[in-house]
Amino acid sequence: MKPGIYVARELSNEAYHADTSAISKSGLDLIHRSPAHYYAAKLDPDRPAEKKDTPALRFGRAFHTLVLEPDLFFQEYAVLPEKVDRRTKAGKEAWAEFEAELGGREALTAEDGQRLGAMAAAVRAHPAAKLLLSDGVAEQSAVWDDFMTGARCKCRMDWWRGRRGRGPQRIAVDLKTTTNASRFPFRKSVVDFRYHVQAAFYSDGWKAVTDDEVRAFLLIAVEKEPPYGVAVYQLDEELVEAGRRAYMADLALYASCVERGEWPAYSSEVEVLDAPAWMTMTTKDEEEKNNA
């Protein structure tokens, strides 16, 4: 892929993920674990075939399509009209008949269809989420060369609110499904899944290609179980800057591995594991924590 912006129809999701000439945020996550993990997953000529989609991945992809590209949903997916028990003969026959009529579409159970509809309705009912998604472009990809390392990078943005030159509308939006969208548990998810790294990496990449400054990187968090709670969060500058430091370190390590042709795993030396802070708290610390 050459540097530039690609709309969804110019670069499919499958083609985007299949290309290994550029590194993505998920690739940086592998590098962060160890270069050996990145090599094994992306570059090893003897690596096993790509793992099949899990039900969770298929569900997440369907949810993104329904919320961000609803006009494409029924072109790409088919929902079984009613619940069937595929453990029974009748259920197996009903499912086989349903699959025979897919015409290349991906099959979804009636249960999944109901849950997807409820989650999408919850997003549309949330005032901030509804406003953010009322105008913009879905599933655009950016490809750029990092100015520090020269490494080719890529990102695929869920939603870009506002087009180039529209001033205050330059907002990036990412749709996340979660088990708990409340403030502090979701903040933990941001750190655990490195969404702050994504925010910095995507924002810098977008600016490198378009010269548009991303004013804000917002996350729409949607719970996967009733009542399908929705929350919208903006990552503050300090958190995004921490993500920027992290991705730049990962990218420098990646570039070094490419240059040397070496992809090490963990340290070859004996390392010491120290006790986490919560295990070394004094009795006074614990009392103050409990009284807080």
Which amino acid makes up residue 115? Answer: R
Query: Which domain does 227 fall in, by range?
Result: 4-43+120-260
With respect to residue 269, please indicate whether it lies within any of the assigned structural domains.
Answer: no
The predicted model gives 151-177 an average pLDDT of 82
Does a structural domain hold residue 16?
yes
* Residue 209 belongs to domain with CATH number: 3.90.320.10
In a domain, 104, yes or no: no
Predicted confidence at residue 229, as pLDDT, reads 98
Summarised one tens digit per residue, pLDDT across range 28-53 is 999 999 999 999 999 998 887 666 67
What's the mean pLDDT when you consider all of the chain? 89
The per-residue pLDDT for 82 is: 73
User: Which tokens sit at 261?
Assistant: 């042709």
pLDDT category, 100, cuts 50, 70, 90?
confident
Higher pLDDT, 27 or 95: 27
Within a domain: 49:
no
Asked, for residue 135, whether it belongs to a domain, the answer is yes
pLDDT tens profile 63-89 = 999 999 999 999 899 887 777 666 787
Query: What is the domain count for the chain?
Result: 1
76 located within any domain? no
Whether residue 290 lies inside any domain: the answer is: no
Say whether pTM exceeds 0.85. Answer: yes
Within-domain flag for 107: no
